């Protein structure tokens, strides 16, 4: 059986397919986290209302923190993959194809970022992320503080949760500005 040589171009294209596959998977997972968050919020609010126990709202901040952080990390990796394709893989392949005049590799990776409405979409997405993962749990904490006959321990826990949610909000804004 004859041995086939693998070219650098084939290896780069295989790597491209691999990272794009990871990016697609992360996009699907990230986008579903918003739906999961909405479902959890609805379930906790319904259970709290039914049980008439405002302290049950203390479950929302940790859940929103975990889901929000997971969303943020996946979003950052999705962006990092795009940057890697644009700034590393694309130029390497363009160099290999230098004999083809005017050849641009992976044009979509840069083209879609030049849309004039990109900044407004990113801002709207940041507001949605802040609302889903930060404003909702903070509102739950306010309801708890206003309506709860809470022990000192629960109040202390709720303050720690508020600080953690504020930290997540800062990260959401920081990552949005970096993108």
Q: What is the pLDDT of residue 103?
A: 63
pTM here is 0.86
Say which DSSP state 6 is in. P
Q: Residues 103, 109, 113, 115: what is their CA dihedral angle, to the nearest 10 degrees?
A: 60
Stretch (H or E) spanning 82: helix 60-84
Q: Which residue has tokens 């849309």?
A: 115
For the chain, the residue count is 179
Backbone dihedral region for residue 159 (phi beyond 0: left; psi -120 to 50: alpha; all else: beta): alpha
Q: What is the pLDDT of residue 176?
A: 92
Question: Please, which residues have CB within 8 angstroms of residue 126's CB and are 6 or more apart in sequence?
Answer: 172, 173, 176
Q: Are 96 and 58 in contact (CB under 8 A)?
A: no
Measured over the CA atoms of residue 115, residue 120, residue 126 and residue 132, the dihedral's sign is negative
CA distances from 73 to 92, 107, 126 (A): 27, 25, 14
Q: What is the pLDDT of residue 54?
A: 93
Structure tokens at 42: 């609805």
Q: What is the pLDDT of residue 48?
A: 95
Measured over the CA atoms of residue 45, residue 49, residue 51 and residue 52, the dihedral's sign is positive
Nearest to 163 by CA among 134, 120, 123: 134
pLDDT in tens for each of the 179 residues of the chain?
A: 556 777 888 999 999 999 999 999 999 999 999 999 999 999 999 999 999 999 999 999 999 999 999 999 999 999 999 999 988 998 888 888 776 556 667 777 777 777 888 889 999 999 999 999 999 999 999 999 999 678 999 999 999 999 999 999 999 999 998 77
Q: Where are the chain's structural domains?
A: 8-178
Euclidean distance between CA atoms 137 and 38, whole angstroms = 11
């Amino acid at each position: 059986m004859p041995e086939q040589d693998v070219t650098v171009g084939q290896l780069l294209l295989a790597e491209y397919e691999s990272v794009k596959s990871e990016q697609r998977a992360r996009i699907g997972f990230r986008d579903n986290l918003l739906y999961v968050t909405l479902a959890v919020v609805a379930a906790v609010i319904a259970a709290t209302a039914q049980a008439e126990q405002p302290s049950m709202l203390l479950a929302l901040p940790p859940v929103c923190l975990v889901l929000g952080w997971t969303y943020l990390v996946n979003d950052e990796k999705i962006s990092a993959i795009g940057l890697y394709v644009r700034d590393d893989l694309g130029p390497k392949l363009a160099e290999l194809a230098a004999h083809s005049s005017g050849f641009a590799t992976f044009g979509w990776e840069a083209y879609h970022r030049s849309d004039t409405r990109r900044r407004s979409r990113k801002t709207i997405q940041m507001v949605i992320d802040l609302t889903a993962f930060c404003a909702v749990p903070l509102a739950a904490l306010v309801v708890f503080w206003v309506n709860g006959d809470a022990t000192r321990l629960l109040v202390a826990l709720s303050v720690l949760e508020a600080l953690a949610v504020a930290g997540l909000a800062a990260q959401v804004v920081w990552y949005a500005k970096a993108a």
